[in-house]
Every structure is written in C-alpha cells, then in structure tokens.
Amino acid sequence: METNPLLATGLLPEFSTIRPEHVEPALSRTLTENRERLEALLTEVADDADFAAAILPIEELGDRLSRVWGPVSHLHGVLNSPELRAAYNQALPALSRYQTELAQDVRLWRLYRRVGDTLADRPADHAASVVEHALRNFRLAGVDLPDDKKQRFKAAIEELAQLGARFEQNVLDSMAAWTWHETDAAKLAGLPAQVREQAAHNAAAVGREGWLFHLDQPTYVGVVTHAQDRDLRHRLYRAWVTRASDQADGDGAFDNTATMRRILELRQAVAGLIGFAHFSDYSLASKMADSVDEVLGFLNDLAAQSRAAATRELAKLEAFAGQPLEAWDIAFWSEQLRESRYAVSDEQLRPFLPLERVLDGMFDVVGNLYGLTIRRLENVDTWHEDVRYYELCSAAGEVIGGFYVDLFARPQKRSGAWMDECLSRKKVHGRLTRPVAHLVCNFAPPTASTPSLLTHSDVVTLFHEFGHTLHHLLTQVDYPSVAGINGVPWDAVELPSQFMENFAWQPDVLRRLSGHYETGAALPDALLDKLQASRIFQAGLQMLRQLEFAIFDLRLHAEFDPHGNTDIDALLDEVRRQVAVIEPPAFNRFAHGFSHIFAGGYAAGYYSYKWAEVLAADAWSAFEEQGIFDPDTAGRFRREILEIGGTRKIGDAFTAFRGRPPSIEPLLAQSGIHAEAE
C-alpha cells in the first residue's frame, strides 16, 4: 500500500512524490485525528492545568496540520495544475470549517482564559503571548456569538477561502490564456536579449516562426520598459492591466468582477457579526495601527508631501520625451531618462548581476551582519529541478534553519515574489524543530547562451524576500503560533524585509555581489555611484503609486455597501484623482488582478508596506549612524526585532532597538522627497 507523503514524518516534505490524490485523504485523516485528540484533551485536562499540560498539545495539533496543508498550499502557488487545483479547492471548505470550529469552541476559549489567568503576572513569558493572541483570535472569530450567528460566520469564512482561491486562479488562467505572436524583428527593437530569446524559444516549442510572447512578469516588465515599438508596449500593458477582467481578451470566463463583489460582501458580513462597523475596523483589530482614521491620516500626509514632487517628475519626463505620455509609455521613457540622467540602465547593469554572484554576495552580507554562514545542500527533495535548498548556520556551525529557493518564472507559477514558512520553530519536551522557509521569485531564467542575469530591481526584490526569510529563521521563540513571522502584526511584518533592501543599494555590497558574467569584471565605480544616485529617481511617483493602492484598499473595505451599488472601479478612479498624477486609460482594471487584497493576507492592510517602511527607514538610519556592518547595532536589531516573533508589541520592540519611537523623517530623507522639493 502506498504511503501518503503528506503524512510522512520526515523532517522536510517529500515534494516530488506529492500528488493531487494525496490531498483529501491526508487532510481528512489529520482533521479527524486532531478533533479526536482535542476532545480527549478537553475531557482529561484538569481545571488547574498549566500551559504545558493544556496549551502545548494544542500548539502541537496546529503544527501537525500545518505540516500536512503547508506543502499543498505551497505547490498550489509554485507548480499548479488542473488536478492539484481541483484537489486544493475541494479541500478548502473542510480546512476552513475545522479552523473556525476551533476558533468558536467555547470550551477551548475558557481553557485559554484559565491558563491566561495563571500567566497574568508573567507578561514577558512567551507562553503568555501564545494565550494572548489566541484569546484575541477567539474574539475575532465570534466565540461568544449565538449559535445561529456562529453558523453564518463559519459559512462566510468557508466561502471566502474558496473565493480567494478562485480569484487567484482566474488571474493565473487569464495570464496563461494570453499570447502574442510576432514575426517582424523590427518590432523587437530595444528588448533585452533574455526576453527575445525566451520568446523565440516559446515559438519554437509550438512549431512557429518568430517570437511568441507569454504574459509572465519578466516578459511584461521587459517589454513596457525597453520596447521601442509603442504598439508592442501598449499591447502588453493592456493585457497586464486587464487580467481577469471584463476588458481582457477572450470570452470573459476568467472575469473576477462577481468574485470581487462577493468577497467584499462576505467580509462586511463577517465584520458585522463580530460587532465592527466595517471590515477595515475588523482588520485593524489585529494590527499595530489603532484606527482607520489614523492610517488614512498617515497615508494622506505622505501623499500630500509627495504629490508636488511627483507632479514635477512627470512634467520633466514628458519634457524629456517631447510629448504627452500614456500609461504604457511611462516605464519606457522613465528608463530612457534614468539612463540619460545617470548613464545607467537595467541592461547596462544586468550583465554584471549574474544570479550566482548575487546570491553569494547576499549571503556574505548576512555573514558580516550576524556572523552566520549559509551552505547549499544537495540531494534534498524539491518540486522542480531549478529549486535549491540551503542551511543557515551559526558561527559555530550549528544549524539554525533552512530555506528553499525557487527563483525563475514558469507557466503555472504565481507571479510576484514571496516568502512563506515550510516549518515553524518548535521546542517541545526538549526536542527542537528548526524553522524552514520558502523563498520564491519570478526572475528571467537562464537561456541557451546566458545564465540568469538580474536587473537591479530583481536584486532589491531578492534582498527583500531574504529579509522575510531571516525573520522566520532567526526566531528564538519555541511556540509555532508566535514564532518567526507568526503573530507579528501585519503592518509590521514588512519591517525586516524593507530594512534588508537597503543593503542592495550600498556600493560596497554591490561590489561584492557583482561581476560580469563573461569576464568577471567588477562594476565600475562610476556606474555604482550613478546607480546609488538613481535611487531617488522618481521617488514621488513611486510613493504615490503605493499610496494609491493603500488608500483604495482601506477605503474599499471601510466604505463598501453590500446593499448599495458600490462601484469598485469608480472608487479607485476617485482615489486616483486625489492621489495620482499619471492618468490610467479607461480600460485599466487593476483591481481585478490585485491579489494582495483579494486573495492574499493584505485586505484592509496594504498600507502595511508604507507603515513598515517608516520603521525600516528609521532602523536603517541607526546603521548609517554607526556603520552598516556595526556588530553592536546588528546584534541589537537581531535581538529586539528578528528574534522575538509575535511575543512583544512592535512599538516597544522598535523603541528598545532605536532608543526612541519611530520617526517619519528618515523615510522622507531616504526617498528624496524633501530633496526634490528643495
């Protein structure tokens, strides 16, 4: 009889052996056994049971479920197929039902309250944080609701899980359905060699002449940034901004319009059942920020300080281009202006940024900061031949944790970049489970003639995701629910990642991670200086773009009327009139592909990027003051920020690191907004 790999007890998942038919049996068995063990615990545990006897077994059950479902969820993002998708969708309701059952179990709630009382005089104890987070989650799940409302809450949560998956799948399917076949070589002028070669390979693979473009992120960015042919830029731009919408090519089979509205209706219903006026208030109940007004005030203040600079930046760009610009012209002419102003372009830099050199250089940064070493392990089972596995080790050689690296774009892989947990740190009865992470990007893969060559933007993305990875791996918390990134407020979880981005801009770091892929020649100092100077290029426009998304997200979830005619696209247009200086075309349907808020964890929380960016810029200013590799500063950042998981209020932790509360001024200085204004 075949053993189900999802139920295997080995340290790492057996990814290559997992099949769609394994999902339902493994999940069903795990949920059944978890329920049985939970019932036994609730029956047997004494009224005066302590944390170890009453709560640790529940932590174990959650970790066991994570080990079964985590690989399924991960494969759904990186190696999707119709069969896996069907199995994933079929399993979601059962998983959601189980999680809501636990969160609404009055007996469990009372157990946590009793144990919490025994920990009241030990607020610094990590066990107290486990209980505190659980009690908050019980409340947000409606543990004290009457039975009829509990059932409505449970049904809404189950449907939301399915709708989030459908939204993401519609985006993926819409992208997969789109292609453009080009036979005129003149149309390809300006395109990076990797984009051209990949398109030629795509065409040859299906027996066609010329070039076949797919709608993946490296192709889209390469075309809109570098294609001299305006029609080609327009074609790719339109395809990208109409993904999964009524404006996309085709018969509308992947249109997310109805799915988006139903998601918003259900979120509003969930918030109302718990007693919140709207979903934005419900979302903020578990975040660092206190209120919608506080967040909107923060966002609007940043917008007000940035808009004048952005207006001047657009005027300069159009003057440089000698014509009014449409949305599909901005990236192209911006790259031309950046190259003209700073004599540096993505394509100049790319040959100096081969992936292997970049990885080695990034690992050197971590070694210099924290005294850590990173080594690659061969013969670790993975889901794709391009995937690697690394161990993170202390200076003494002790293994701290591990991480998988999956960096190349491919069909049936979700776009974007992310870090997710594979295993959480756990220590029970003296036995330690070390944390393991997934680091995923969508870079251009190697071609027949060149290795994978990164843009500098790719390098920044890699450092960002590695910041998340370190946050997960360096935790010193032994309870999975508050270890690593778990239990960290969503509006602070980006602090370690955005902090790490800064190293990707430092000349000394860039010297370590660069070298021409053919000659090994280092990046010339003059080019490094210009690259660093280009960091604040169009900082106002970049700031407004993120603020536009954040304000739209928060207002959408605060103002949506399930009984009215809330027009999602009209609200986005209103926000754009308030914030943006670049006017998008009428066919733009950005919201239909906004997976962060409709299929990810950022609903009424997209502002977190800017909120955490304030913290990250201020943290970085401490390193600038003392030296970016100062061991005392790095050690304090590791202790106060990276190691604490969700066991401490981030405001207190930041103050302990910085010696004062956070300030917005370092972000404005770092982004060059004030310099542009002057």
| Active-site residue, from 158, 197, 465, 613 | 465
- Taking only the tens place, the pLDDT of each residue in 354-392 is 999 999 999 999 999 999 999 999 999 999 999 999 999
- Taking only the tens place, the pLDDT of each residue in 64-80 is 999 999 999 999 999 99
Q: What is the DSSP string of 239-276?
A: HHHTTTSTTSSSSSTT--HHHHHHHHHHHHHHHHHHT-
The DSSP letter of residue 480 is: G
Domain 257-342+540-606: give its CATH code.
1.10.1370.10
Handedness of CA 269, 274, 277, 283 (dihedral sign): negative
Do the strands 426-428 and 431-433 form a parallel or antiparallel pair, or are they unpaired? antiparallel
What local confidence, expressed as pLDDT, does residue 674 receive?
62
Residue 97 confidence class, pLDDT cut points 50, 70, 90: very high
Contact 28, 34 (CB under 8 A): no
Q: What is the mean pLDDT of residues 33-54?
A: 94
- Mean of the per-residue pLDDT values of the chain: 94
Q: What is the mean pLDDT of residues 306-328?
A: 96
Q: What is the mean pLDDT of residues 519-531?
A: 90
Cα distance between residue 509 and residue 186, in whole Å: 39
Judge whether residue 402 has pLDDT over 50. yes
Judge whether residue 1 has pLDDT over 50. no
Residue whose pair of structure tokens reads 């990250």 in the numeric block? 616
CATH number among 3.40.50.300, 3.30.70.1400, 3.60.15.10, 1.10.1370.40, domain 351-537+609-677: 1.10.1370.40
Q: What is the mean pLDDT of residues 479-500?
A: 95
Which ranges in 456-560 belong to alpha helices (H)? 456-473, 495-501, 507-513, 525-533, 539-559
- Taking only the tens place, the pLDDT of each residue in 178-208 is 999 999 999 999 999 999 999 999 999 999 9
Handedness of CA 24, 25, 27, 32 (dihedral sign): positive
Cα distance between residue 494 and residue 586, in whole Å: 33
What is the second-level CATH architecture of the domain 5-172? Orthogonal Bundle (1.10)
Judge whether residue 336 has pLDDT over 50. yes
Q: What is the mean pLDDT of residues 333-348?
A: 90
Q: What is the DSSP string of 651-673?
A: HHHHHHHHSS---SHHHHHHHTH
Judge whether residue 676 has pLDDT over 80. no
The answer to whether 33 is a known catalytic residue is no
What local confidence, expressed as pLDDT, does residue 641 receive?
98
Query: Beta partners for 439?
Result: 405, 419
Q: Which of the two residues, 425 and 411, has the higher pLDDT score?
A: 425
Edge-to-edge order in the sheet of strand 418-423? 373-377, 388-393, 399-408, 436-443, 418-423
Cα distance between residue 568 and residue 136, in whole Å: 31
Cα distance between residue 555 and residue 384, in whole Å: 40
Q: What is the mean pLDDT of residues 588-617?
A: 95
Q: What is the mean pLDDT of residues 530-548?
A: 93
Residue 47 confidence class, pLDDT cut points 50, 70, 90: confident
What local confidence, expressed as pLDDT, does residue 678 receive?
41
Helix (H, G, I), strand (E, B) or coil at 66: helix
What local confidence, expressed as pLDDT, does residue 675 receive?
47
Q: What is the mean pLDDT of residues 469-498?
A: 96
What local confidence, expressed as pLDDT, does residue 588 receive?
96
What local confidence, expressed as pLDDT, does residue 345 receive?
84
Q: What is the mean pLDDT of residues 235-251?
A: 96
Q: Classify residue 589 as exposed, middle or buried by CB count within 10 Å of its CB (0-12, 13-18, 19+).
A: buried
Q: Say if 257-342+540-606 and 351-537+609-677 have the same CATH topology.
A: yes
- Residue-range domain boundaries for the chain: 5-172, 178-241, 257-342+540-606, 351-537+609-677
Judge whether residue 33 has pLDDT over 90. yes
Token output for 197: 């070669």
**For 250, left (φ over 0), alpha (ψ -120 to 50), or beta?**
left
Contact 255, 245 (CB under 8 A): yes
- The residue type found at 126 is H
- Taking only the tens place, the pLDDT of each residue in 212-228 is 999 999 999 999 999 99
What local confidence, expressed as pLDDT, does residue 179 receive?
96
**pTM to 2 decimal places:** 0.87
